[in-house]
Amino acid sequence: MQITATGLGKRFQRDWIFRGLTRVFRPGSATAVLGPNGAGKSTLLNTFSGQLLPTEGTLTYSLSGQSLAVEDVPRHLAYAAPYLELLEELTLLELLRFHTQFKPLRPGVSPDKLIELMYLEKARQQLVREFSSGMKQRLKLALALYADTPLLLLDEPTTNLDAAGVAWYQEHVQATRTGRTLLLSSNVPAEYGFCDEQLLVTDFQGLRLK
Ligand SMILES: Nc1ncnc2c1ncn2[C@@H]1O[C@H](COP(=O)(O)OP(=O)(O)OP(=O)(O)O)[C@@H](O)[C@H]1O
């Protein structure tokens, strides 16, 4: 998916979070969205996902050369973030079967295959609410990475992951990013080291006048 931001700005009440962002995000690119805590990284990702409306400027989306309305973006988007919740009353297998009805996995990956890729075979029939925080994060990431979508948004992807989890993320993000447009918010070099582009949110705060 190609995304074009033109003069993009977002304000909450009287505070501008970012302003004057003009940039094109192309299929196959991976952009690290960087900045300190509270800089506006999640706000930027949520604006790109169509969940938040920009205060000024425009975002346009296109898929294989055809323009896409913002209301159609969620269908083509996979999003993993610490603040997005899982259906914890389901077992792992139930959750995967339910979730993938709405957000299909890439061809060749079934719910059973995904369980194998996550190394969560022993938890197949376990309630997700009983998972450790690292297991939940691995599940959120796997659902996004292996979703069959051209747009992938990852907010702080290694939250709650141990060293083995971080290595798992690095392997699987590489295995699934080809051809997709990836934006990844982070403060941790191990998460975004592979990204070919960087966007420093604080570069778009010079016009943050009240
Ligand atoms: N819905 C909202 N209403 C008002 N202010 C908000 C809202 N959401 C976020 N903010 C404010 O916008 C600013 C940027 O927050 P955001 O969560 O985007 O930062 P971040 O860079 O992702 O931070 P972190 O690294 O801590 O996750 C913060 O000052 C936050 O309080």
* ipTM for this model: 0.96
Domain membership flag for residue 32: yes
Residue 209 within a domain: no
Q: What is the pLDDT of residues 122-171, one digit of tens each?
A: 999 999 999 999 999 999 999 999 999 999 999 999 999 999 999 999 99
- Predicted pLDDT at 90: 98
Domain assignment of residue 210, yes or no: no
Count of beta carbons in the 10 Å neighbourhood of residue 140? 22
Average of per-residue pLDDT across 45-52: 96
Structural domain containing residue 147: 2-204
* Spacing, Cα 132 to ligand 1 middle (Å): 26
For the beta sheet containing 197-200, the strands, ordered from the edge strand earlier in sequence to the opposite edge, are 77-80, 151-155, 181-186, 30-34, 197-200
Give the pLDDT confidence of 69-91 residue by residue, as tens digits.
999 999 999 999 999 999 999 99
The pTM for the full model equals 0.94
38 lines ligand 1 (CB under 6 A): yes
Residue 186 alpha carbon to ligand 1 centre in Å = 14
Classify residue 147 as exposed, middle or buried by CB count within 10 Å of its CB (0-12, 13-18, 19+).
buried
Ligand 1, atom nearest to 45 Cα: 18
18 assigned to some structural domain: yes
Residue 206 has pLDDT above 90, yes or no: no
For the chain, what is the domain count? 1
**CATH code assigned at 21:** 3.40.50.300
The answer to whether residue 210 scores a pLDDT higher than 70 is no
| CA 42 to ligand 1 centroid distance, Å | 7
Nearest protein Cα to ligand 1, atom 8: 43
Residue nearest to atom 1 of ligand 1 (CA): 12
Residue with the larger pLDDT of the pair 116 and 207: 116
Q: Is the CB of 35 under 6 A from ligand 1?
A: yes
Q: What is the mean pLDDT of the chain?
A: 95
pLDDT reported for residue 68? 97
- For the cut 80, the answer to whether the pLDDT of residue 207 exceeds it is no
Tell whether 97 is covered by a domain. Answer: yes
- The pLDDT value recorded for residue 36 is 94
Instruction: Give the residue ranges of DSSP H helices in the chain.
Output: 41-48, 92-102, 111-117, 133-145, 163-176, 189-192
pLDDT score of 205:
87
